[in-house]
Structures are given as C-alpha cells and as structure tokens.
Chain A
Amino acid sequence: MSFINYASREINCKIVYYGPGLCGKTTNLQYIYNKTANDAKGKMISLATETERTLFFDFLPLALGEIRGFKTRFHLYTVPGQVFYDASRKLILKGVDGVVFVADSQEARLDANIESLENLKDNLAEQGFNIEKIPFVIQYNKRDLPDLTSVDELSKLLNERKVPELEASAMTGEGVFETLKAAAKLVLNDLKKGG
C-alpha cells in the first residue's frame, strides 16, 4: 500500500523480498546498500540472530529520484526465511506493494523453493492480496554455484504466472539491481493504473 504525500511531494512504496531460508534475501539488500550512493539511501536495519540469520526483518530505505515532481522512495524489506518464523513473515507482508521471490537455484533447495512459494501465496491471501495480481518478480539466485536446477525447470515449477524472471548471484551482485528495477517498474506501473 503506497503512501502518496502531496504535502512533501513524496511517494513511498514497499517491496518485500521473500524466499526460503538462506536463499540470499539479506544478501540482495546488502549489495544494494553497498552500491548505493549515501544520499540515496538510509540506514539498513537488520533484526538478526547472533548467527546472522534474519529474525524479524531487514529494512533498507532507498530514494530513487523524482517522477513528475514527486520524490520516489522505496522501502525494501526481507522476511525471515526459516519455516518456523511464519508468524513474523506474515506481518512483514502488511501493506506490501510488490514482492520479489528469491529462489535458491541449488538442486538441493528445489523443494524449499516450492514450499516457500506456497507459503507466500497463503500469507498474501491472508493479508487480502492475490498473488496473481500483485506486482511480482522472481529471481533465480546463486547461478554461480555448482549443482543447479536449470532456469527452464525452475521457471516451469515456480513461474506459472509468467512474471519477469531474472538470474542472479547476489554475492557478486549480478542481477541484483536488475531484479530491483523490474520490481520497481511493476510497482510504479501499478500505481499508474491507480492500484
């Protein structure tokens, strides 16, 4: 749910990175944080455990620039991926404008991806959203590692809706900004329609 502020001429949108545990959601945000100019980003907040697993969420505010005289800000959030944090995951989806599903391309994580996507569907529905309609992008992450599922197969299993899909390696940064751009585009186009 975007926030259009005519008083400060700002528009704020919320994008949530979703996906199974250790798929690279936090790494996506860290890369964006590291590669963004200081004046375009706020502080990155990570509510994580001592072993650096996301406990509640990561948060990164980004200012992208102006459109038609309105400052465009995106608030990026990640959810905790581990299965047992489902109650927290639901909360982060409140008021979301767009979702990036980060899939772990490693063969061994195929089932985890499918399970997480089902979980996303359920949790979005619980917040009153339809996964068939919400701005949605899929990132096939970790393409630099061995023992991968092919993109064709991942696409067949995870991308029924045929939304934009991108290959990435969040550790090296490949595909990270492309993913964000694809998601931001869909969110802004949705706003254009008055969504």
Chain B
Amino acid sequence: MFGPQSSLVMYDEEYQRILSILEKMLRESNSKVIFLVDKNGQLIAATGETANLDTTSLASLTAGNIAATGGLAKLIGEKEFSILFHEGEKDNIHISIVGGRVILVVIFDQRSSLGLVRLRVKKTSLDLAGVFEDLAKKAMAQIAAAGTASASPFAEITDDDIDNLFN
C-alpha cells in the first residue's frame, strides 16, 4: 500500500470516517475500548473508555507485539499471524491486522464475547481497508499533483522553527 519510506498521512475526512467505523464497532460488539495503530506503533484513532488508558504506550507495545509475532511467523514459514488474542481475568485484548498495514485492537470484558468480537472485527476490517485504500489513492494523487512527495506541511519550515522546539 505504501513504500517503507513514505509518510502515512491522515486527513480529517478519512479520520472522521475511521472514527465512525470504530464507534459503530464499539456499540455493536459491546467492547470497552477500540483503537487503531499503525504497524510502526503510531496511534491513529481510539474510541471508548480511553480516559484512564495510556494509549500511546498501548500503541507502541501492540506494534511491538505484532512485530515479534510476525518474526515468529516468518521463522516457521507463515506470512504473518493476522490475529492475536490475550485473555485476562477481567479484560481481554483482541488484536488483528487490517489491510496488511494497520492494527485493530479491541479491549473487551464479560459484557462481550470472543465470538462476537471476532464477528464484528471481520466486518470492521473490510470497512477500514476501504478507507485506507482511499487514503493511499489520495496520497498518490497528491504526489502526482505536486510532482514530488513534498505535499508535506513542513516544506516551508526553517532552521529557526526547529531550533525553537528546543528552547
């Protein structure tokens, strides 16, 4: 979908679409928290009971988890393990890879069930994959229009801007 060195760019329109897909999934699966993470550990969106949750750390650890499991998969000749499930005493985590690029994480307790979550994840993954395809097309169009990949809002920054960050 994207090359290893291209930036992931998220626009407001797609972000709102993603958020509404996640919110719908949250309702339909009775889960506590759902978030979407880039495979490199960047949090893309989160919904549900996130107030007391360190979502940045969760995103980084989830990506590490997927990366480690992906390494294991390759060692035994599998492409990837696309679903991980961690069962706790109260809360459980269901992790799945969407469109080969992003990670969908669902945290749920006894108000839901693994079966329901798996069912909803399937539908949600399809919807999300559609959004990311659109996003990829948009990025390609931007690059084509600009002639380069410099659609970045940082094209105009100066050394002073950067120095100011550290003052």
A interface list, Cβ under 8 A from B: 1-8, 11-12, 14, 42-43, 45, 47, 56-57, 59, 61, 64-65, 67-68, 70, 72, 75, 87-88, 90-92, 94-95, 127-129, 177, 181, 184-185, 188-189, 191-195
Whole-angstrom distance from the CB of B71 to the nearest CB of chain A?
6
Q: Which of B50-75 contact A (CB under 8 A)?
A: 54, 56-57, 60-61, 64, 67-68, 70-71
Q: Does B88 contact A (CB under 8 A)?
A: no
Which of A11, A42, A91, A188 sits near B68, CB closer than 8 Å? Answer: A91
B67 touches A45 (CB 8 A): no
> What secondary structure prevails in chain A residues at the interface with B?
mixed
B5 touches A75 (CB 8 A): no
Q: How far is the CA of A12 from the CA of B56 in the complex (A)?
A: 11
B10 touches A7 (CB 8 A): yes
Q: How far is the CA of A190 from the CA of B67 in the complex (A)?
A: 26
Q: What are 8 inter-chain pairs, A to B, with CB distance below 8 A?
A: A1-B2, A1-B4, A2-B8, A4-B10, A64-B165, A91-B67, A177-B166, A191-B154
The count of chain B contact residues (Cβ–Cβ below 8 Å) is: 46
Which of A68, A88, A94 sits near B156, CB closer than 8 Å? Answer: A68
B interface list, Cβ under 8 A from A: 2-12, 14-16, 38-42, 44, 54, 56-57, 60-61, 64, 67-68, 70-71, 148-157, 159, 161-162, 164-166
The tally of CB-CB contacts under 8 A between chains A and B is 140
Q: How far is the CA of A56 from the CA of B61 in the complex (A)?
A: 10
> Given the complex, which residues of B lie within 8 Å of A59, measured CB to CB?
41, 57, 60-61
With A42-B57, A194-B148 as known contacts, state yes or no: A94 contacts B166, CB within 8 Å: no
> Given the complex, which residues of B lie within 8 Å of A45, measured CB to CB?
57, 60-61
Whole-angstrom distance from the CB of A43 to the nearest CB of chain B?
5
Q: How far is the CA of A60 from the CA of B60 in the complex (A)?
A: 10
A1 touches B5 (CB 8 A): yes
Whole-angstrom distance from the CB of A56 to the nearest CB of chain B?
6
Which of B10, B54, B148 sits near A5, CB closer than 8 Å? Answer: B10
> Given the complex, which residues of A lie within 8 Å of B42, measured CB to CB?
3, 12, 14, 75
Q: How far is the CA of A57 from the CA of B57 in the complex (A)?
A: 12
> Given the complex, which residues of B lie within 8 Å of A195, measured CB to CB?
5, 7, 149
Q: How far is the CA of A177 from the CA of B61 in the complex (A)?
A: 25
